[in-house]
Structure 1
Amino acid sequence: MDGGFTADLPLDVGQEAEPRERTALFLKNIGAGGTVSIVKILIQLALLPLMAHLLGPQEFGVYALAVPVVAFLAVIADGGVGLSLARERTNSQAIWSTAFWVLMIGSVVLSLVVILSGYVLARASSEPQLNDLMLILAMSFPFLSLGILPVARLMRQGNLVAIAVADFCATVSGAICAVSLGVLGYGAKSLAFQFLTSYIIRTLILNLFAFEKPKLIFRPSTMLEHLSSGGILMGGRIADLACRSGESLMFGNAFGSATLGAYNFANQVSRFLFEACSNPTWAALYSQSLSEQHDNLLKIFYKVSRLMAFLTFPVAAVLAAAGPDLMAQVLGPKWQEAGIFLRILAAGYALSLTASMGTAILLAREANLLFFLTVVLLGAGRLLAVAAGQFLPAWETVWLVTISNVIYSVTVCLCVARFADAKLLRILKEISGPFFAALASGVACWLVLRLGGNHSIMVYGSVAIAALCYFAAMFLLEGKNLKNEFSFLKSATSGIIKKD
């Protein structure tokens, strides 16, 4: 097996300092992003039942009418320009100033669209308060746009900690606003003000870290490349949204609303668990890709793939072994079907999100069209899988969805190998240890449940045994590598603390 992080560092002491510092910064970015991501999830979990109690189903229903329009427009608000601009030198005043004015003009247009949508929705649903609700939500878009360029600058600098701080403060402030206004009886407006407050706080903090006064320069021609690149990225986001919507529609038509609810819940749990790890890691890798030398970048990519496999594979193994039992214990017997779907979907999600780390390199290397095609491939594959539900039972259809995730994973790895010179055997080597250790832990979990029954003590005990089995297997398979990597992580972390 490979010797971990330390084996990839140069032997010369003078040459070792810079790679070690850059790797330490990378680890710091992942740590900050991952921590804030977990905190945000915990806050959302606590907030959901509390707001449901304060508002009631009627007010939640009114807000739900506004969410699809605002969520869709928020996804396309930056037009993909933010990620593209992160590749641009910050001293290109014409480009950055033009981008500022383009984004602000776009935010005004989107705000007007939201306000107009409010009038249409209010008439169509006979809910007059939607006018006020959409007006509050419309005020968010200028603040959303004001935060795009600071994020691009911070990503270029490799300072994702500042972004994590802004996200944390925005989430906490939004939650406090929602609860306070909910207690005061503002109803659905409390959720709208939460949305607005979050963007105001996030934008203020981001600009404290990376504000640059825009010049009175407006040259659209300087933005053509970024608009073209951003258009492809935005097209990928829209394609993903469209495919997911179509997937839900076809699944519901084939199997009914109850089975659709179980399927959507299983999807949400899978994404909820795995994206908490993958999103901050992907952002950190993309930021690192913008300035890292190619050879060092590939070494980092291999280790990121290993990290994602280390974190997601054992979770997938436990869900595959105990998904139905866990769902029955936590949510009741009626959710057991969701547990069956979760059992099938978990492995595909873990593999696809591990492979998706390669898309950060493709995007940083300006392979935008290839990035778009991989997104479309995944969406189209899932649509085709669900379309087969007209002829297959639900569980077989879900298996086809998992197969589409596996095909996507293989495709991304082949693309990274072809266009970024990554070695497929090296990727397989890095994830092999977590794979076999997770397989052993999944088998152990399944055996405990089959031999001991599915009452609560055995269900939770099987998860604990699976965790112990996983770490034991990892040390048996890669004990020396793990020691090397933990030693490096400790030294890198201590270097960050001393430097700070």
Structure 2
Amino acid sequence: MLDYHPLVQRAVSGLAQSTIETRRAIYERALAALVDQLRRMEPPVAEADIARECAALYEAIARVEKAVAEAATAAAIKAEPPAAPLRDGQRQFALNAAASWIANGVKAVTQLVMLPVMAHLLNPLDYGLYALAQPTVMFFVMVAESGIGTSLAREDESNTLVWSTAYWVLLASFSTMALGVAGSGLVLAAVTGQQKLVGLMMLLSLSLPLMAVSVPCVARITGRGNLTLHSWADIASALSSAVVAVTLAVLGFGVWSLAGQYLTTYAVRAVVVNLIAFKAPTLEFKLSALHGHLAMGSALLSRRLGELVARSAENALFEHVLGARLLGSYAIANQASRFACDVVTNPPIGALYAHAIRGHRDTVGSLHARLVTVLSALLIPAAVLAAVAAPRLLPFVLGPKWTTAAPLFQPIVVGYAILAIAGLNDAILMSNDLTKRATVPALWAAAARIGAVALAPWLGAVGTAWVVGAIFLVHTFALTASVPRSLTEGLGGAFGAQRGPLLASLVAGAAAYAVLSMGDGLANLAASLAVGGLVYAAALSIVAGPALRGEVATAFALVRRLGSLRSPTRRGLAVKPQ
């Protein structure tokens, strides 16, 4: 075995800017070159010998990384005050999270306005048909994208070979999968007997080429660390698609209005992100240049495909056992739960990932702990109170024909709220090349949801929803346990942060239920939610007062950082890729 340490050390020392991304690129190229050279030798080298040489290279890489870490630690000890990039990183994190929350707030308000309007204009059968179509579309989307977009955000924009190869690969794969989406309508129609699915899938297939030209631009925006630009695209697509959906529904297009909304979302998004971050691809193409991105992408793809297959199987099996109308109620319960929770949790998850891949890894652990505490204090009580009020709230908002959605919504929204908070672990795992650790629990949960729906003839619709809610909780436990203790505070820290909000939420839920049972009408519903909120605030101050005050102070500090972003520098809007 050779000693590769001097070679690796010289390569790293020659970097103009040594970051985890640039060093990782060197390591990946060195490993690929070593394996290629050994396999070309005559006489052939045994695989066992190749493995030993690779192990020697890994050992050299570990020594170099240890030296880099020691040098960084020594520099940090000497640095006083803290270095400017760290402060800028904290400001950018706060700006990214705030911009994403604003965009999600606009989308949430739009959805809240649209949901009752669309629910009155459409019927459960329309939603049931769309619920059968959408998971199949997303299945083909995930196969086409292969997780490349998320990983590509870490790539230096000057590497035109990688970016151009990725562009052509994405365009080819998305266009091919668009044909698969169109053809799958025939299969779905044959299985379910719903012939509308043929035309519906053909229309939805037009969205895939639009996604193909969007993925590289979104990756550039994320890699630059400025998610505010992406937020503009989200706002524009949400508003325009809402107008299209309502217009088509008023004109009597039924389920086609939902397809029009979906297609408009990706058309407008494609236009905006390309205006922001388009770079013309060159004619370069080398599939092996994407090796590192495909490795991470394969883990993401396995997870996403597993979840989409499960959702499609859930819906098809649910419709077969309990009928399309109950499937519409089940779809609304899932859609409302996921949308409401993701609106709150997706911005900090995205901002945490962008923060980590730009070299601010030393603050990621503390940010993760604070975000778990703050999100738990906000999201868990909201989910519990929404579940308590659901039998009155959903018929009032959506109309009396959606009464059957309330008992399905109750367990799903609480379970998914806790799982959505655990999604912060995804940012930690992806930024540390540990995406595979999140794949196993996700695939297990996907299979478990299929099993739960298979038991629907015995459990009924409500019993199935309760089992699905319990699966969300088990998935939360497994996902949190998959993160190494060196990166976060582990199970004890996560569930310790959630214990206070959960106990206070249960007390608040009991108080809200007591008020609801005293009368009927909108005034009684509003009073129950108000009492629940006040009881929650009082109970939380008793259970977790000191810790909560500390996190509130941190939140105000982040707001002050946002206020410090003034012209003319506009540092939060002019971050260059590292």
TM-score range, shorter chain: 0.7 to 0.9
Instruction: Say whether 1:484 aligns with 2:557.
Output: no
8 A contact 2:412–2:469 mirrored in 1? yes
Q: What CA distance in whole angstroms lies between the structure 2 residues aligned with 1:151 and 1:215? A: 18
Residue in structure 1 matching 2:528, options 462, 466, 471: 462
| SS of match in other structure, 1:15 | coil
The aligned residue for residue 299 of structure 2 is 232
C-alpha displacement at 1:162, in angstroms? 0.8
The letter for the 2-side match of 1:459 is L
Equivalent pairs counted in the alignment come to 490
SS at match of 1:89: coil
2:127 and 2:486 mapped to 1: Cα distance?
47
Equivalent-residue separation in structure 2 for 1:416 and 1:161 (angstroms): 28
* 1:324 is the counterpart of 2:391: yes
Distance change >3 Å, CA 10–CA 19, structure 1 → 2: farther
- Give 1:39-54 correspondences, 5 Å limit: 39-47=106-114
Cα-to-partner distance string for 1:130-173 (whole Å, 9 max, x where unaligned):
66x76665443332111101111211222111111011112223
**Helix, strand or coil at the partner of 2:145:** coil
Alpha-carbon distance between aligned partners in 1 of 2:264 and 2:184, rounded to the nearest angstrom: 21
**How big is the shift at 1:78?**
1.5
d(CA) in 1 for partners of 2:248, 2:217: 30
Query: Residue 274 of structure 1: CA displacement?
Result: 1.0
Aligned to 2:309, which of 239, 242, 257? 242
Q: Find the aligned partners of 2:378 and 2:504 in 1 and give their Cα distance.
A: 12
Task: Write out aligned runs for 1:121-136 (5 A).
Answer: none
Q: Which residue of 2 aligns with 1:220?
A: 287
State the shift of 1:174 in Å.
Answer: 3.3
Distance 2:507 2:400 in 1: 28
Say which is worse superposed, 96-105 or 60-69, in terms of deviation: 60-69
**CA offset at residue 181 of structure 1?**
7.0
Query: Corresponding residue for 2:172?
Result: 105
Q: State the match for 2:17 in structure 1.
A: none
Q: Could you list the per-position Cα deviations for residues 393-441 of structure 1 after superposition, in whole angstroms to 9, with x for gaps in the alignment?
A: 5544433322221111111111114573533333234333433332332
- State the alpha-carbon separation in 2 of the partners of residues 278 and 413 from structure 1: 16
Q: How big is the shift at 1:278?
A: 1.9
The answer to which of 488-497 and 108-117 deviates more is: 108-117
* Distance in 1 between residues matched to 2:521 and 2:123, nearest whole Å: 33
CA distance in 2 between counterparts of 1:379 and 1:211 reads 36
Partner AA of 2:557 in structure 1 = F
Question: What SS does the aligned partner of 1:382 have?
Answer: helix
Contact 2:369–2:488 (CA under 8 A) maintained in structure 1: no
The partner residue of 2:502 within 404, 421, 435 is 435
Matched residue, 2:471: 404
Q: Distance in 2 between matches of 1:300 and 1:402?
A: 28
Counterpart Cα distance in 2 of 1:339 and 1:328: 8
Q: Which residue identity is paired with 2:560?
A: S
How far off its partner does 1:82 sit? 0.3
Q: 1:287 aligns with which of 329, 351, 354?
A: 354
Provide the rounded CA distance (Å) in 2 between the counterparts of 1:430 and 1:57: 39
Question: Do the aligned partners of 1:10 and 1:16 also contact (CA within 8 Å) in 2?
Answer: no
State the one-letter code of the partner of 2:445: L
- Quote the Cα distance in structure 2 between the aligned partners of 1:193 and 1:263: 22
Give a deviation string over 1:45-94, Cα, whole Å, max 9, x none.
Answer: 54466678889999999988875654443343322110121222323222
Going from structure 1 to structure 2, the CA distance change for 1:108 and 1:172 (only over 3 Å counts) comes to: same
Report if the CA contact (8 A) 1:76-1:237 is conserved: no
Q: State the secondary structure of the residue aligned to 1:208.
A: helix
Map 1:44-193 → 2, pairs under 5 A? 44-47=111-114, 70-114=137-181, 137-177=204-244
The answer on whether the counterparts of 1:386 and 1:397 sit within 8 Å (CA) in structure 2 is yes
Distance 1:64 1:266 in 2: 12
| 2-structure distance, mates of 1:240, 1:291 | 29
The one of 564, 568, 571 aligned to 1:495: 564
Code of the residue aligned with 1:155 in structure 2: it is: T
Give the Cα separation in 2 of the matches to 1:263 and 1:197: 25
After superposing the two structures, state which structure 1 stretch, 64-73 or 83-92, moved more. 64-73
Residue 491 to residue 55, structure 1, CA distance change in 2 (3 Å): closer
Once residues 351 and 52 of structure 1 are traced to their aligned partners in structure 2, the CA distance between those partners, rounded to angstroms, is 27
CA contact (8 A) 1:99 1:223 kept: yes
Q: Is the 8 A contact 1:114 1:134 kept in 2?
A: yes
Q: Deviations for 1:72-120, whole angstroms, at most 9, x for unmatched residues?
A: 4334332211012122232322211111111122233234445556789
- Deviations 1:247-272 (Å, cap 9, x if unpaired)? 34444555565655444433232222
Helix, strand or coil at the partner of 1:14: coil
RMSD: 3.9
Q: CA deviation at 1:218?
A: 0.4
**Given the superposition, is the C-alpha separation of residues 447 and 287 from structure 1 closer, same or farther in structure 2, using an over 3 Å criterion?**
same
Q: Distance in 1 between matches of 2:124 and 2:395?
A: 25
Sequence identity percentage = 33
Question: 2:537 aligns to what?
Answer: 471
Match of 1:153, SS state, is helix
Residue from 298, 302, 311 that aligns with 2:378: 311
State the one-letter code of the partner of 1:405.
F
TM-score by length of 2: 0.73
The 8 Å contact of residues 131 and 328 in structure 2, kept in 1 or not, is answered as no
Q: Which residue of 2 aligns with 1:338?
A: 405
Structure 2 alignment gaps of length 5 or more: 1-75, 571-578
Task: Give the letter for the 1:480 counterpart.
Answer: R
Would the alpha carbon gap of residues 497 and 445 (structure 1) be closer, same or farther in structure 2, given more than 3 Å must change?
A: farther
Distance, in Å, in 1 between the alignment partners of 2:189 and 2:405 is 35
Q: Indicate if the aligned counterparts of 2:415 and 2:473 stay in contact, CA closer than 8 A.
A: yes
1:205-216 → structure 2 map (5 Å cutoff): 205-216=272-283
Q: Is the 8 A contact 2:125 2:325 kept in 1?
A: no
Q: Is the 8 A contact 1:263 1:338 kept in 2?
A: yes
Q: Which of 99, 103, 113 in structure 2 is aligned with 1:36?
A: 103
User: What letter corresponds to residue 494 of structure 1 in structure 2?
Assistant: G
Give the direction of change, closer, same or farther, for the CA distance of 1:88–1:435 in structure 2 (3 Å limit). same
Q: How does 1:418-429 map to 2 (within 5 A)?
A: 418=485, 420-429=487-496
Matched, 1:296 2:363: yes
SS in 1 for 2:154: coil
Alpha-carbon separation, structure 2, partners of 1:333 and 1:238: 35
Q: 2:482 aligns with which of 388, 394, 415?
A: 415
Aligned pair in 2 of structure 1 residues 219, 360: CA closer, same or farther (>3 Å)?
same
- TM-score (ref. length: structure 1): 0.83
Structure 1's unaligned 5+ residue stretches are 1-8
